[in-house]
Amino acid sequence: MGVSMRRLLSLPTTLLCLLLLRPLSVSAAREWAVVTLTNSVISRALPVNFVGWSFEHIHANQMMRRRQFQQLMRNLQAVNGGEGPTIRLGGNSAEYCAYTAHPERGIKAQGFPPGVKFMITDDDIKAVAAGVPTWRGKVIVGLNFLSDTDSTIAVNHLKALMRLLPKGLLAAVEVGNEVRVRWWWERLSSRGPQLSARGSPPILGSCD
């Protein structure tokens, strides 16, 4: 099948066509498969730890304040037995962000490394703290280990998360974005105590 045909037929459509067109036996009677569609729910509810939503840090504040998004999360909560989905904040922007308690000073004035392009503020974290509990969800947050050499940015961000987020809301933190696990682990090996404070969340590796 050529490329153009593959674009026209998705995999589920192709499989359904094959199922409908292929006889169940090679006898002369040619028995055909019959597919009956109903509105019965045959799949189980979304698992409690379902992660299907990911937002860049620079968009998280805006998304948390959108009524449509909050309603969507509550709808997912309703079909999951009262437990809302976990969302992830990070992506590419995680490697170019830094937490600051003084956004009015700007990036350059605060002495951040050259790679930092965006600031994460108390207001951003408070938006998450106010939004996620409304659907009984949790959050995974990406930390910046790319822009500095001593993990100061990541540690300061984690401390702010633990200070401003309700207890239990932070499910885990991510070590960078699309990490090369061995390379990052070698960088982290000498920083473990800084990121393993009592009560801190698990550390995950993101492999997008």
Structure tokens that stand for 133 in this block = 């509990």
DSSP, res 9: S
pLDDT, residue 82, reads 85
The whole-angstrom separation of Cα 127 and Cα 91 is: 18
pLDDT, residue 10, reads 45
Report residues of the chain scoring pLDDT below 50: 1-27, 192-194, 196-198, 207-208
The whole-angstrom separation of Cα 145 and Cα 151 is: 6
> Could you give the strand order of the β-sheet that contains 170-175, starting from the edge strand earlier in sequence?
51-56, 86-90, 138-143, 170-175, 203-205
Please report how the helices 122-131 and 57-64 are oriented relative to each other, as an axis angle in degrees rounded to 10.
50
pLDDT, residue 14, reads 44
pLDDT, residue 20, reads 42
Domain boundaries 51-205, CATH class: alpha beta
pLDDT, residue 103, reads 93
Say whether 99 sits in a helix, a strand or coil: strand
pLDDT, residue 29, reads 56
pLDDT, residue 199, reads 53
pLDDT, residue 25, reads 44
- Run of H or E including 133: none
pLDDT, residue 200, reads 55
The whole-angstrom separation of Cα 9 and Cα 122 is: 48
